[in-house]
């Protein structure tokens, strides 16, 4: 992290949405100036590509020195290593496949790196956010335990995800590693997890429990305010809407951690409502299976702790450390027998984590080259 903070190279970035394109540049993990905006023109490929080129052109002219690379998040499906964008649901102009990365490399003469926003969010948190924060807490507590792997999800319009393993972003053979939205929905196995862990899920459950029409349901921020008693409305429906989101998201995170074994971090637009869903999320991770004979089996081998809760954080940091004698020797060795994971909220903020992830990915790739 300290090396990235002092790196003199500039990387141009883009936050691509269905309505707007937000451009800026980063040096040493710091934004160099306020973002520059252009419309996406999602239905017109020529105009969309022209706006992307014009945006990066303006950013380049505002940089104090020539940029070393372009690195940004773009929706999938895509072949991210080659920079080819596939059939995007919310950007119809890209249907059929567009070689966006190669086009930008030819236009600007510098390397171009494109990734999924969920991946870059987790990468940023692994480099400068949640992962080093937890390891620092463990070090200060005197624990020998350290973590190298991080799974993360973003709760918002969709249910994004990403995996970092041993400090490296895990993309997968088809650029679809960490696609949390397609994990199974615990509360309705015929649906994917996203349908239980996103904005529309919160609104849908609120409508069902409150007995009102879906089109009259407010946005999740208002539902959260109702749930904590700050705004008038059906408090029972608000609390239940976020509880169900937590249960679905927690089970999905457990599915991922069963295979990769690490920490878990949460970001996205709905993450600010963690007061209403985080407890249910961790409970779902610590749930049990019941075998045919009635025997109970833990959902996860590792015990999940809510690191935002002071008492659970203390238990997580303490672990179960003991000293063991080496057989046939006078030597002893320290052993922490508590297999555990921690779940918590973004330490950087989702947008900042994505930006830092994009910058770090580019700088490290340039060093490899």
> Beta strand 296-298 with 288-290: parallel, antiparallel or unpaired?
antiparallel
CA distances in angstroms from 51 to 20, 23, 247, 315, listed in the order given: 10, 11, 41, 52
Checking if the pLDDT of 1 tops 60, the result is: no
Instruction: Decide whether 2-115 matches 139-346 in CATH topology.
Output: yes
Please tell me the predicted confidence (pLDDT) of residue 29. Answer: 84
Question: Do 210 and 203 touch, CB atoms closer than 8 A?
Answer: no
Structure tokens at 331: 């030597």
Q: What is the pLDDT of residues 12-46, one digit of tens each?
A: 999 887 788 989 999 998 889 888 999 988 889 99
Q: For the chain, what are the domain ranges? A: 2-115, 139-346
Please tell me the predicted confidence (pLDDT) of residue 90. Answer: 73
Please tell me the predicted confidence (pLDDT) of residue 87. Answer: 84
Please tell me the predicted confidence (pLDDT) of residue 89. Answer: 75
Q: What is the pLDDT of residues 176-215, one digit of tens each?
A: 999 999 999 999 999 999 999 999 999 999 999 999 999 9
DSSP for 289-310, written as a single string: EE-TTS-EEESSSSEEEETTSH
Structure tokens at 356: 């830092």
Structure tokens at 67: 């940029």
- Fold adopted by 2-115: Nucleotidyltransferase; domain 5 (3.30.420)
Please tell me the predicted confidence (pLDDT) of residue 2. Answer: 55
Residues of the chain with pLDDT > 90, as a percent, come to 83
Mean pLDDT score across all residues of the chain: 94
- Residue 351 pLDDT level (bands cut at 50, 70, 90): confident
Q: What is the pLDDT of residues 40-92, one digit of tens each?
A: 888 899 999 999 999 999 999 999 999 999 999 988 889 999 999 988 777 78
Is 139-346 assigned to CATH 3.30.420.40?
yes
Question: Can you count the helices (H) and strands (E) in the chain?
Answer: 11, 19
DSSP for 114-158, written as a single string: EE-HHHHHHHHHHHHSHHHHHHHHHHHHT-------EEEEEESSS
Q: What's this model's pTM, rounded to 2 decimal places?
A: 0.92
Q: From CA 285, how far away is CA 294, in angstroms rounded?
A: 20
Please tell me the predicted confidence (pLDDT) of residue 70. Answer: 97
Report the pLDDT averaged over residues 311-324.
Answer: 95
């Amino acid at each position: 992290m300290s090396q990235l903070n002092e790196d003199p190279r500039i990387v141009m970035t883009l936050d691509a949405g269905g309505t707007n394109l937000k451009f800026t540049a980063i040096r040493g993990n710091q934004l160099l100036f306020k973002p520059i905006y252009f419309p996406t023109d999602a239905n017109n490929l020529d105009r969309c590509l022209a706006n992307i080129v014009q945006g990066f052109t303006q950013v380049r002219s505002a940089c104090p020195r020539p940029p070393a690379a372009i690195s940004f998040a773009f929706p999938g499906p895509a072949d991210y290593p080659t920079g080819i964008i596939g059939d995007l649901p919310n950007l119809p102009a890209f249907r059929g496949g567009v070689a966006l990365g190669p086009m930008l490399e030819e236009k600007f003469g510098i390397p171009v790196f494109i990734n999924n926003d969920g991946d870059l969010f987790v990468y940023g948190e692994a480099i400068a956010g949640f992962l080093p924060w937890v390891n620092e807490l463990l070090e200060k507590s005197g624990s020998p335990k350290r973590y190298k792997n991080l799974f993360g999800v973003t709760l918002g319009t969709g249910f994004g995800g990403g995996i970092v393993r041993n400090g490296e972003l895990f993309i997968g053979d088809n650029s679809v590693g960490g696609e949390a939205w397609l994990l199974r929905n615990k509360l309705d196995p015929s649906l994917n997890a996203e349908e239980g862990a996103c904005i529309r899920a919160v609104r849908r459950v609120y409508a069902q429990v409150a007995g009102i029409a879906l089109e009259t349901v407010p946005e999740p921020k208002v539902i959260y305010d109702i749930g904590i008693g700050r705004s008038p409305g059906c408090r029972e429906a608000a609390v239940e809407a976020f509880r169900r989101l937590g249960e679905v998201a927690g089970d999905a995170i457990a599915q991922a951690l069963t295979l990769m074994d690490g920490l878990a971090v949460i970001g996205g637009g709905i993450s600010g409502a963690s007061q209403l869903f985080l407890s249910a999320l961790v409970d779902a991770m610590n749930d049990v299976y019941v075998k045919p004979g009635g025997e109970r089996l833990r959902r996860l081998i590792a015990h999940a702790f809510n690191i935002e809760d002071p008492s659970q954080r203390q238990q997580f940091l303490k672990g179960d450390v003991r000293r063991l004698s080496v057989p046939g020797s006078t030597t002893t060795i320290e052993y922490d027998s508590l297999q555990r994971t921690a779940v918590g909220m973004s330490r950087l903020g989702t947008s900042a984590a994505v930006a830092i992830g994009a910058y770090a990915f580019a700088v490290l790739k340039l060093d490899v080259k």
